[in-house]
Amino acid sequence: MKKIHNLGPIAVLISVAIAVVFTAGCSGSAGEERPAKSEQEREAKLRIVTLGGGATEVVYALGHGDTIVATDASSTYPEQAASRASLGYYRRVQAEGIIAQAPNLVIASDGSGPPAALAQLGEVGIRVVELPEVENLAQAKARITILAELLREEERGRALIAGIDEQLVKVERALSGRPRPRVLFIYARGGGTMLVAGQGTAAEALIGLAGGALAAPEHQGFRPLTAEAVIGARPDVILLTSGGLESMGGVEGVLGAPGVAATPAGAQRRIIAMDDLLLLSFGPRLAEAVTSLAKSLHPEVVS
Amino acid sequence: MSSRRPRWGRGGLLLGALALFVGLSALAGLGLGAFEVGPGAVVEVLRAHLLPGGSTPSPIVDAVVWEIRVPRTILGLAVGAALATSGALFQGLFRNPLADPSLLGITLGAAAAVAIAVLGIGMLDVSHAPLGLTPEVLTATRPYMIPLAAFVGSLVTLLGVVALASGPGRLDVTTLLLAGIAVNAIAGAVTGFAIFLADDAQLRDLTFWTLGGLGGASWTVVIAVVPLLLAGLAFVPTLARRLDCLLLGETEAGHLGVRVEATKRSVVGVGALLVGVSVSAAGAIGFVGLVVPHLVRLLAGPGHRILLPASALLGAGGIVLADVLARTVVAPAELPIGVLTTLLGGPFFLWLLAGRRRGR
């Protein structure tokens, strides 16, 4: 009796495994028609998987949003993108999950991975286009050009870039000769972790385009925020993502953060928040993001 | 001798049952996934690659089964067996049920190195390539930096800990344990500092790494990793009887004719090889190394001749089964496997524990 009792747990494990294998058998036989069907579909039209919110936005702006069959968790704009099958976090996708969506083109933002998964997509014959990093205006335009050529929408791509340029020139004209307020970008993750953007960040590029000056120009990349560093940066304005503002407990929370009250921005309560994706993705809404930020920085000039 | 025979009988039964479990898990690993492939198609693909003169159903099905599922299942089996076995080895060496592969600082040492690598990759300006490396070389080697950092990190911490614990002619197990705890704390602090500096993407990379995953599996990885793990595992049976003797104490084991120092060094060396290689290939998959040997002990007692192979089998099957669920539960996305090993293994272990207490 004792022996049988002792092997009981293993019997449970084995029955779990049997259950899983049985599921495999059933679902497999039910879905055997699928690969053939998807091969017909791929002849007919483009089926795109996008990884990265910025790339997804560009594909939509080029008029190919309806060909996107699946996308990653960061693709939250436009709203339709969020309703596509989600492949999870773009740096940790699984090859088989993508293959199951039967795409014929995968557009992967910089950092998509793991590399083995992207390589396996190539082995199945799916075209994988890896995009370069996008953190400034030139790179943002380059991404639009690359995707426009890829989707044979050169005309729309040029129009998109021309539209961005036109709007940016308008902002630049309105702001010419104006003093540039010092803007401190705080990247907050909640739980007391706050980072300040320095040189070479997307935040720096955006602030520059919107007629501001980066308030912490002496370091590269992101640095942890300290009270003294905040005071030393003398920001006139503090900029956050909406998610970041929420995680810090709203405007009052930011004002209560160490050092903030002693800055000009704190004294005048100039705290600005912008949508995360709009602010940092450098997608087709770049001009919109710049205009919106410029309005907040220079309310008297930009309308 | 006759008094031992029933134990072997029970152990044999357990090993047989576990082998069945491994077989079924491997079947699930090959048959299940986000992409639907019928069981017949899986068999066809395997036959086409393993036997002469077969043909595959279609290139896509062939690639999904042969390029994705087969290497992933093989890697899962090897990593699971390695983690569980090294847990059993370290618990035997330290005569401490709380010992696990991370106790010597190997896992956290690897994590610290990975954290530094993740930050380093982020800071690396490819256009100003250091050391005369071209941007092309740097871009090409980027995917290998994290596994490499994990392996180097685990190796460096292990060598440091062993060097600290080595006196004249002997390896002091108590010092080994204490040094391991201290190194763990230091590595934890290094990782913490890296997390402090990390931006959102890097932070997520680190978090995902500490939860482990078999998503990096490919034939290249299998060929690089599995022979090393098999070599380590092949050495393990020779340690079983000596570990049994060590359970009595080092002096007593010496009186029984065991070469104590050589045994301790072998256990540390083999255990570290198994953990270091597993961690570099699959990240820090938690819980398996700690709990699988305990499960086996609850079922078959503390004798290492059953404990070591049974742990290997249970670890192998368990990891593959957890990976099947990780790939399918939220398909087409994927859950980190560490979440599943702990979420499934934890309650199962508690259930066994409760049953044992009631049984008394």
What are the chain A neighbours of B218 within 8 Å (beta carbons)? 116, 119-120
Evaluate whether residue B19 is within a structural domain. Answer: no
Given an 8 Å threshold on Cβ–Cβ distance, is A100 in contact with B332? yes
Q: For residue B259, what are its two tokens?
A: 């070469």
Assess whether A172 and A277 both reside in one domain. Answer: yes
Q: Which residues of A29-65 are buried (b: 16+ CB within 10 A; e: fewer)?
A: eeebeebeebeeebeeebbbbbbbbbbbbbbbbbebb
- Cα B95 to Cα A114: distance, rounded to the nearest angstrom: 39
Chain A CB within 8 Å of residue B32 CB: yes
Q: How confident is the model at residue B125 (pLDDT cuts 50, 70, 90)?
A: low
Question: What mean pLDDT comes out for the span B87-100?
Answer: 86
What confidence score (pLDDT) does residue B4 get?
A: 47
Of A10, A95, A98, Cβ closest to residue B18: A10
What are the chain A neighbours of B37 within 8 Å (beta carbons)? 28, 32, 35
- Of the candidates A131, A149, A183, which is a domain's last residue? A131
Assess whether A261 and A189 both reside in one domain. Answer: yes
309-328 of B, contacting A, C-beta below 8 A: 314, 317-318, 321, 324-325, 327
Chain A CB within 8 Å of residue B208 CB: yes
What are the chain A neighbours of B221 within 8 Å (beta carbons)? 116
Contacts of B260-267 with C-beta under 8 Å, sequence gap 24+, read: B261/B169, B261/B170, B261/B171, B263/B239, B264/B93, B264/B171, B264/B173, B265/B171, B266/B235, B266/B239, B267/B89, B267/B90, B267/B92, B267/B93, B267/B239, B267/B243
Ramachandran sector of residue A271 (left: φ over 0; alpha: ψ -120 to 50; beta: rest): beta
Chain A CB within 8 Å of residue B53 CB: no
Question: What mean pLDDT comes out for the span B74-94?
Answer: 94
What confidence score (pLDDT) does residue B344 get?
A: 85
Which stretches of chain A drop beneath a pLDDT of 70?
1-6, 24-44, 190-192, 302-303
DSSP chain A: -HHHHHHHHHHHHHHHHHHHHHHHHHHHHHTTTHHHHHHHHHHHS--EEEESHHHHHHHHHTT-GGGEEEE-TT---SHHHHTSEE---GGG--HHHHHTT--SEEEE-TT-S-HHHHHHHHHTT-EEEEPPP--SHHHHHHHHHHHHHHTT-HHHHHHHHHHHHHHHHHHHHHHTT----EEEEEEE-STT-EEEE-BTSHHHHHHHHTT-EES-TTSBSEEE--HHHHHHH--SEEEEEHHHHHHTTHHHHHHHSTTGGGSHHHHTT-EEEE-HHHHHS-STTHHHHHHHHHHHH-TTT--
Q: Domain range for residue B146?
A: 25-359
Chain B CB within 8 Å of residue A108 CB: no
Evaluate whether residue B252 is within a structural domain. Answer: yes
Evaluate whether residue A24 is within a structural domain. Answer: no
Assess whether A123 and A216 both reside in one domain. Answer: no
Whether the Cβ atoms of residue B306 and residue B14 lie closer than 8 Å to each other: yes
Given an 8 Å threshold on Cβ–Cβ distance, is A14 in contact with B24? yes
Could you report the per-residue pLDDT of B266-314, keeping only the tens digit for each?
999 999 899 999 998 998 888 899 889 998 988 888 899 999 999 999 9
What's the CATH number where A215 sits? 3.40.50.1980
Chain B CB within 8 Å of residue A37 CB: no
Assess whether A126 and A193 both reside in one domain. Answer: no
Of B36, B201, B336, Cβ closest to residue A34: B36
Q: How confident is the model at residue B359 (pLDDT cuts 50, 70, 90)?
A: low
Evaluate whether residue A28 is within a structural domain. Answer: no
Evaluate whether residue A25 is within a structural domain. Answer: no
Of B58, B123, B221, Cβ closest to residue A221: B123
Could you report the per-residue pLDDT of B157-170, keeping only the tens digit for each?
888 888 888 878 78
Assess whether A121 and A180 both reside in one domain. Answer: no
What are the chain A neighbours of B352 within 8 Å (beta carbons)? 9
What confidence score (pLDDT) does residue B355 get?
A: 80
What are the chain B neighbours of A113 within 8 Å (beta carbons)? 143
Ramachandran sector of residue A152 (left: φ over 0; alpha: ψ -120 to 50; beta: rest): left
Relative to beta strand A48-51, strand A68-71 is parallel
Could you report the per-residue pLDDT of B143-189, keeping only the tens digit for each?
678 888 888 898 888 888 888 888 787 888 888 888 888 888 999 99
What confidence score (pLDDT) does residue A187 get?
A: 85
Q: Domain range for residue A93?
A: 34-131
Evaluate whether residue B6 is within a structural domain. Answer: no
Chain A CB within 8 Å of residue B342 CB: no
Assess whether A50 and A119 both reside in one domain. Answer: yes
134-173 of B, contacting A, C-beta below 8 A: 142-143
Q: How confident is the model at residue B134 (pLDDT cuts 50, 70, 90)?
A: low
What confidence score (pLDDT) does residue A37 get?
A: 47
Question: What mean pLDDT comes out for the span B195-217?
Answer: 83
Given an 8 Å threshold on Cβ–Cβ distance, is A91 in contact with B205? yes
Q: Report which of residues B76 and A257 the model is more confident about.
A: B76
Assess whether A197 and A268 both reside in one domain. Answer: yes
Nearest CA in chain A to B220: A116
Count of domains in chain B?
1
Evaluate whether residue A269 is within a structural domain. Answer: yes
Percent of chain B with pLDDT over 90: 42
What are the chain B neighbours of A97 within 8 Å (beta carbons)? 34-35, 327, 331-334
Given an 8 Å threshold on Cβ–Cβ distance, is B333 in contact with A101? no
What confidence score (pLDDT) does residue A29 get?
A: 45
Chain B CB within 8 Å of residue A220 CB: yes
B126 DSSP assignment: G
What's the CATH number where B288 sits? 1.10.3470.10
Assess whether A121 and A169 both reside in one domain. Answer: no
Q: In whole numbers, what is the pLDDT of chain B averaged over residues? A: 86
Q: State the smallest CA–CA distance between residue B212 and chain A in angstroms.
A: 11
Could you report the per-residue pLDDT of B11-58, keeping only the tens digit for each?
889 999 999 999 999 999 999 999 988 888 999 999 999 988 777 788
Nearest CA in chain A to B216: A116
Q: State the smallest CA–CA distance between residue A179 and chain B in angstroms.
A: 31
Chain A CB within 8 Å of residue B302 CB: no
- Cα A124 to Cα B81: distance, rounded to the nearest angstrom: 30
What confidence score (pLDDT) does residue B206 get?
A: 84
Could you report the per-residue pLDDT of A10-50, keeping only the tens digit for each?
888 888 888 877 775 555 444 444 444 444 444 458 999 99
Chain B CB within 8 Å of residue A134 CB: no
Residue B223 pLDDT greater than 70, yes or no: yes
Chain A CB within 8 Å of residue B61 CB: yes
Evaluate whether residue B11 is within a structural domain. Answer: no
Q: For residue A144, what are its two tokens?
A: 């639009």
Assess whether A94 and A221 both reside in one domain. Answer: no
Q: For residue B115, what are its two tokens?
A: 């954290």
Given an 8 Å threshold on Cβ–Cβ distance, is B327 in contact with A96? yes
Cα torsion for A38, A40, A45, A47, to the nearest 10°?
A: 10
Paired with B171 in beta bridges are B166
Q: State the smallest CA–CA distance between residue B320 and chain A in angstroms.
A: 10
What confidence score (pLDDT) does residue B208 get?
A: 85
Count of domains in chain A?
2
Chain A CB within 8 Å of residue B68 CB: yes
Q: How confident is the model at residue B132 (pLDDT cuts 50, 70, 90)?
A: low
What confidence score (pLDDT) does residue A44 get?
A: 58
Evaluate whether residue B316 is within a structural domain. Answer: yes
* Nearest residue to A139 (alpha-carbon basis) of A297, A301, A283, A13: A283
